[in-house]
Every structure is written in structure tokens, then in C-alpha cells.
Amino acid sequence: MLTLIQFPWSPFCITVRHILERHGILFRLRNIPYHERASIIQATNGRGHTVPCLVDEKQAFCDATDFGQEVARYIDRRFKLGLFPKEFEGLQLILSRYIEIDLEMVGFKVNDTYVIPSRPLVERVMLVRHKERKFGKGCVQKWTSHRKDLSAQFAELLLPIDHMLASSAYLLSDRPLFVDYNLYGVIGNYLFNGKTKLPKLTHLRRWHRAMGQST
């Protein structure tokens, strides 16, 4: 059986987790604190340290490159899901860059303002340390004070996607491809805290309900 090592709020973990869940693939879930990576390092024999980490018997996989999506691609090959059809390879890469850079960069900031204060002391301190090394001292407090503006920006960034969904059940096809799960993960991160809501975009909300169902 597969084991997924994750942080439960990570958008990329949500993406992989939902691929497994929606396709009825049995797996064990192992949540780890943000600052404890020993289980991943050991599982990958030192080749990886990031989440999501998927363990399949004696093999373990992490996403090793920017936009490599190695974990999702392994699941796709292993279970023949067809999430990466060749005719959509370029479009999926372009759209994934928008989802994982522009959209995720705003959404995680909102969620962090709720999630980080709720974590146990050591994990909370390590999370703040990581964020401040990357975004500057006091960044979490700044995001908290600008939470309303960040949420409005997130909704604005989702508007082009809502326009795409006006003429299609899913982003690029009549069935979900990887980019649909990718978007679902980023939105799932934004909604993880239970205090944010999906913007009032009709087509996006219809898509989100459909993506939440099993195949």
C-alpha cells in the first residue's frame, strides 16, 4: 500500500492526496510537523526532503524539480490515470505556472495567517523562521493585517479561470487533468483554515463541487 507523507495544509500535498482519494486508490496518510523531515530523508535514502513524499513499497518519490510534478506523474503512470495526455502537455505546464506562482503566492499567505498561530510552539517558531528568511521579518503579521486585500487579490486571480470554466466542465478537457487537481490543491490550501470562503464565481464553484466528488 502507498504511504503519503505530508503537511495537511500544503497545496501540493492536497493535490496528490485528492488524486489518490478521487480515484479510490488505497493509501496510508502520515502527517509530520513542518520541521521534522527525517522520515522523508530516510524513505528517499537522502535523495529528497520535501512534501509530498510518496512511498510505494521500497521506492519513495518527492518533487525534485520546479514544476516537475514527479509524485503526481508517478501516480499517473502507476495507475494509468491519463492526467498528463501529450496533446495538453504544453498547456498544462503554462497553466500550472500560473496556478503555482501567481495564485498560490497569494493564497498561502492568507492561510498562513490562520494556520501558523494554531501550530504547536516549536513548529510555529520554525514556520515563522522559514517565512521570515524568505519574505522578511514580520511578514506573517503583515499578511494578517492585509488579509482582506490578499483575499480580494486571490479572487481577482481566479476570475480568468472562472471565464475558462464558463465553456468547459473542467479546465482543458471534459474530464479532470492534472491542472484541475493542481488548482484544487491551491484552493484547498486557501480554504484549509475553515475561515476563508470560495469567491462568488459561479463556474468556479460548480467546478469545485464536481472536483470534490469521487470518480
The reported pLDDT for the residue numbered 81 is: 98
Confidence of residue 165 (pLDDT cuts 50, 70, 90): very high
Report the percentage of the chain scoring pLDDT > 70.
100
Q: Each residue of 56-72: pLDDT tens digit?
A: 999 999 998 877 799 99
Q: Which residues pair with 53 in a beta bridge?
A: 5, 62
In the sheet with 53-56, reading across from the earlier edge strand, the strands are: 27-31, 2-6, 53-56, 59-62
Q: Is the pLDDT of residue 196 over 80?
A: yes
Task: Note if the bond before 52 is cis, omega within 30 degrees.
Answer: yes
56: left (phi over 0), alpha (psi -120 to 50) or beta: beta
Give φ, ψ of 171 to 5 degrees: -65, -45
Q: Each residue of 150-159: pLDDT tens digit?
A: 999 999 999 9
Q: Each residue of 129-154: pLDDT tens digit?
A: 999 999 999 999 999 999 999 999 99
Q: How far apart are CA 9 and CA 208, in angstroms?
A: 17
Burial 10-23 (b: 16+ CB within 10 A, else e): bbbbbbbbbbbebe
Confidence of residue 112 (pLDDT cuts 50, 70, 90): very high
Catalogue the E-assigned strands of 79-129. none
The pTM of the full predicted model, rounded to 2 decimals, is: 0.97
The reported pLDDT for the residue numbered 64 is: 86
Burial 70-109 (b: 16+ CB within 10 A, else e): ebbebbbeeeebebbeeebeeebeebbebbbeebbebbbb
The reported pLDDT for the residue numbered 68 is: 76
Note whether 7 and 112 are within 8 A (CB).
no
What average pLDDT does this structure show over 90-113? 97
C-alpha cell at 41: 530523508
Q: Set out the domains of the chain in order of their start, with CATH numbers.
A: 2-79 (3.40.30.10), 86-211 (1.20.1050.10)
Least confident of 31-35, 63-67, 203-207: 63-67
The reported pLDDT for the residue numbered 149 is: 98
Mean per-residue pLDDT of the chain: 96
